[in-house]
Chain A
Amino acid sequence: MVEAIIRATLLGLQLGMTLALIAAGLTLIFGMLDVINFAHGALFMLGAYLGTVIAGQLGSFWLALLLAPLIVGVIGAAIEILSLRPLYGRNPLYHILLTFGIAIMIQGAILQIWGGQSRRISVPEILSGSVPIGPVNYPLYWLFVFAFSTVLIGLVWIGIERSNLGILMRASAHDTEMVNALGIDVSKVFTGVFVFGAVLAGVAGVLLSGTQSVHPGMGFNVIIEAFIIVVIGGLGSFRGAVYSALLIGLVSAYGALIAPTLTELFLFLLMAVVLMIKPSGLFGTTEAA
C-alpha cells in the first residue's frame, strides 16, 4: 500500500510537471493573444512524433529533444503569422474554429505521413533502468522527465518574474493597447509568445514519448487535460497553471490507484468544485501571468 502511494505520488508529480509545460503555453497564449488555442495539443503531439522520428533516424534522444521542439516552434510561428494574425480583434469564435481546424489538419498530416500505429521513443542508455526510492523501484527516465520539466518551468517562472521580457509579457497580458502605444511592436510579442508556447509543448511531447505511447489521438486527449488545468488555475495565469497542473497530475495518479476508470470524472469534478468556489479559477484575479 505504501509502495503504491509513493509510486502514485512520484508519477503524479512527474505528470503534473510535464502537463505544466503544455498548460503554461496555453495559458500564456490566452492571457496575451486572447486566443483559445485548440491546436496546442496537436503541437504537443507533433513534438512527440518528430521526437520519435528524429531519435530513430539520428539515433540520438538528445538531438531529438533539441530539434523536435525547435521545428514545432517554427511551425508555431507559421501558424501565428499566417493564420491567427489576420483575425485579431475579431470575434473569438474565429480563433476557436481556426485553431480547431489546424489541430485536425496536423492530426491528418500525421496519419498520412506516419500512419496510425503507436510508437515510442527509444530512451537513451544512460536513463534506462530504475532507481530505488524507499521501497519503490522507480524508472530513471521518469525521474529525468520530472527533473527536466521542473527545471524548465522554474527557468520560465524566473524569466517571467525578473527579466525585461517577462515584464513585457505581464504588461501585454494586462493591457496590450497601452504596451503598443509605448512604442513596442506588440505583434512581435504575440508571435514570440505563441512560438514559446509551441516550443514548450514540443518539449513535453518529446519527454512524454518515452513514458507513454505516441499515437494520433494523443493531441486531443492532452488538450482536454490542459484546458482543465488552465481553467482551474485561472485563465491567463502562469503560476495558476503550474500549481493546477501539479494538482491534476496528482489527482490523476491517485485516481488511477483508487478507480482507474473514473480518473477523468475526478478531474471534471475537481474543476466543477473549484469553479463553484472560485469562478475565476485559483489564481484568476486581475493578476496577469
Chain B
Amino acid sequence: MVTVTESGHDQGRRRTDGGDPLLSVDSIDTHYGESHILFDLSLTVDRGDVVALVGRNGAGKTTTIRSIMGLTPVTNGQIVKGGEQIQARDPHEIRKEGISWVPEERRVFSGLTVEENLRLAAHSGDDEQADQFEEIYRRFPRLDERRGQDAGTMSGGEQQMLAIARALLGPETDLLLLDEPSEGLAPQIVDDVEDIIRELNEDGVTILLVEQNAEMALGLADYAYVLETGEIVHESPADELATDREAMESYLGVK
C-alpha cells in the first residue's frame, strides 16, 4: 500500500500500467546559470490525468514546469510530448504542440484589458476564434462581466481565471501546466479554482499541477510526484500519498 520509492534511476517509468503517456520527461537536468537545479528528473503524465507535483519551497517544482515549457531549457535528457521531442524548442513552438502554461503569480498583462489579454492569447480576431471566445466567456462569466477592465486591477482570483482562460485560447491545449494556482487566494476562491481545474479535466484537458498546497493538489490529482532539492523522491497514486501520514510528514511537513 505504501509506495515510497527511493531516489533511483528508473523512476518515472514505473507507471506503464496500460497508461497512455501524453508527456514523458526523461532524465532531465536543468541549470540556472551556474547552479544546478534539477537532477536526472523523470516523470510521466498520462492522457486525461491530473498529475500533482508537490514539494517544499525551492524544491524545483517551478523549474520543472519551466523546463517543460522551454523557458529554462534543459541541459540534459529529453522531453517527449505526443511522440515528439520538444526539449530543444522555443516556448512559442512548444505552445503550438498543445502545451499551455499558467505561471506562478498569474502574470496577466496589467495595462491591458481582460478582452485584450484574451485577444492576444487567441493571436487574432479570426472568425473561428469567435466561437472559442464565447465559450471562454461562458466558462468564466466573471471575465465576461469585466471585459473592459484593466487586468491589473482585478482580484487575485479573477486574475487566476484570466490566466487560465488565456492558456485555453489560441492553439488547441491538451496539456495544461498550472504553477501554484492557489497561491495567495482566499480559501473560498481556492475552492472555485479547484472546481475550474476539475471541470477542465473532465472536458479532456490533461493537467500537470504544481502546488505548495499539497492537500488541494492531492485532492484533485490522480497521480503524484514529490520533489525534493531537484530530485523526485516519491511517486504514487495521489490518494495513496494523501493517506500515507509518514510520507506526508517527512516530505511535505504536513501532520
A-side residues, CB < 8 A to B, are 164, 167-168, 170-171, 174-175, 177-186, 286-288
Q: Which residue of A lies closest to B152 (CB)?
A: A286
Contact call B92/A171, Cβ cutoff below 8 A: no
Not counting A170-B111, A174-B112, A183-B92, a sample of 13 additional A-B residue pairs whose C-beta atoms are within 8 angstroms of each other reads A164-B125, A168-B120, A174-B111, A177-B91, A182-B95, A182-B120, A182-B170, A183-B123, A183-B170, A184-B123, A185-B92, A286-B110, A286-B152
Contact call B90/A180, Cβ cutoff below 8 A: yes
Q: Is B116 an interface residue (CB 8 A)?
A: yes
Q: State the CA gap A183–B119 with chains docked (Å).
A: 13
Q: Is B107 an interface residue (CB 8 A)?
A: yes
Q: List 24 A-B contacts (CB under 8 A).
A: A164-B119, A164-B120, A167-B112, A167-B116, A168-B120, A170-B112, A171-B116, A174-B111, A175-B107, A180-B91, A181-B95, A181-B103, A182-B95, A182-B123, A182-B166, A182-B170, A183-B92, A183-B170, A184-B123, A286-B110, A286-B111, A286-B152, A287-B111, A288-B111
Q: Which residue of B lies closest to A179 (CB)?
A: B120
Contact call B92/A175, Cβ cutoff below 8 A: no
Q: State the CA gap A170–B111 with chains docked (Å).
A: 8
Q: Which residue of B lies closest to A185 (CB)?
A: B92
Q: Which residue of B lies closest to A188 (CB)?
A: B92
Contact call B112/A186, Cβ cutoff below 8 A: no
Knowing A177-B91, A183-B170, the reply to whether A170 touches B71 (Cβ < 8 A) is no
Contact call B116/A186, Cβ cutoff below 8 A: no
Among B71, B110, B116, B121, which residue has its beta carbon within 8 angstroms of that of A182?
B121
Knowing A167-B120, A178-B103, the reply to whether A183 touches B171 (Cβ < 8 A) is yes
Contact call B92/A181, Cβ cutoff below 8 A: yes
Residues of chain A lying within 8 A (CB to CB) of residue B101: 181
Residues of chain A lying within 8 A (CB to CB) of residue B109: 170-171, 174-175, 178
Query: How many Å from the CB of A143 to the closest CB on chain B?
Result: 36
Q: Which residue of A lies closest to B116 (CB)?
A: A167
Query: How many Å from the CB of A73 to the closest CB on chain B?
Result: 24
Q: State the CA gap A181–B104 with chains docked (Å).
A: 13
Query: How many Å from the CB of B100 to the closest CB on chain A?
Result: 8
B-side residues, CB < 8 A to A, are 69, 71, 90-92, 95-96, 101, 103, 107, 109-112, 116-117, 119-121, 123-125, 152, 166, 170-171
Contact call B96/A183, Cβ cutoff below 8 A: yes
Contact call B71/A183, Cβ cutoff below 8 A: no
Contact call B112/A184, Cβ cutoff below 8 A: no
Q: State the CA gap A171–B120 with chains docked (Å).
A: 8
Contact call B112/A171, Cβ cutoff below 8 A: yes
Q: State the CA gap A15–B121 with chains docked (Å).
A: 39
Residues of chain B lying within 8 A (CB to CB) of residue A288: 111
Q: Which of A164, A183, A184, A186 has the most CB of B within 10 A?
A: A183
Query: How many Å from the CB of A204 to the closest CB on chain B?
Result: 27
Query: How many Å from the CB of B115 to the closest CB on chain A?
Result: 9
Q: State the CA gap A269–B196 with chains docked (Å).
A: 56
Residues of chain B lying within 8 A (CB to CB) of residue A164: 119-120, 124-125
Q: Which residue of B lies closest to A287 (CB)?
A: B111
Residues of chain A lying within 8 A (CB to CB) of residue B125: 164
Query: How many Å from the CB of A188 to the closest CB on chain B?
Result: 9
Q: Which residue of A lies closest to B97 (CB)?
A: A183
Query: How many Å from the CB of A74 to the closest CB on chain B?
Result: 25
Query: How many Å from the CB of A56 to the closest CB on chain B?
Result: 44
Residues of chain A lying within 8 A (CB to CB) of residue B121: 182
Residues of chain B lying within 8 A (CB to CB) of residue A286: 110-111, 152
Q: State the CA gap A235–B17 with chains docked (Å).
A: 56
Q: Which residue of B lies closest to A184 (CB)?
A: B92
Residues of chain B lying within 8 A (CB to CB) of residue A174: 109-112
Q: State the CA gap A286–B152 with chains docked (Å).
A: 10
Q: Which residue of A lies closest to B170 (CB)?
A: A183
Residues of chain A lying within 8 A (CB to CB) of residue B69: 181
Q: State the CA gap A157–B178 with chains docked (Å).
A: 36
Q: Which of B90, B96, B166 has the most CB of A within 10 A?
A: B90
Q: State the CA gap A182–B51 with chains docked (Å).
A: 22
Query: How many Å from the CB of B143 to the closest CB on chain A?
Result: 16
Residues of chain A lying within 8 A (CB to CB) of residue B71: 177, 180-181
Residues of chain A lying within 8 A (CB to CB) of residue B92: 180-186
Q: State the CA gap A165–B29 with chains docked (Å).
A: 37
Contact call B111/A178, Cβ cutoff below 8 A: no
Q: State the CA gap A164–B116 with chains docked (Å).
A: 8
Residues of chain A lying within 8 A (CB to CB) of residue B124: 164
Residues of chain A lying within 8 A (CB to CB) of residue B166: 182
Closest 7 CB pairs of A and B: A183-B95, A181-B91, A180-B91, A171-B109, A167-B116, A181-B101, A185-B92
Query: How many Å from the CB of A191 to the closest CB on chain B?
Result: 14
Q: Which residue of A lies closest to B124 (CB)?
A: A164
Query: How many Å from the CB of A240 to the closest CB on chain B?
Result: 14
Q: State the CA gap A186–B120 with chains docked (Å).
A: 13
Q: State the CA gap A177–B73 with chains docked (Å).
A: 13
Q: State the CA gap A184–B120 with chains docked (Å).
A: 9
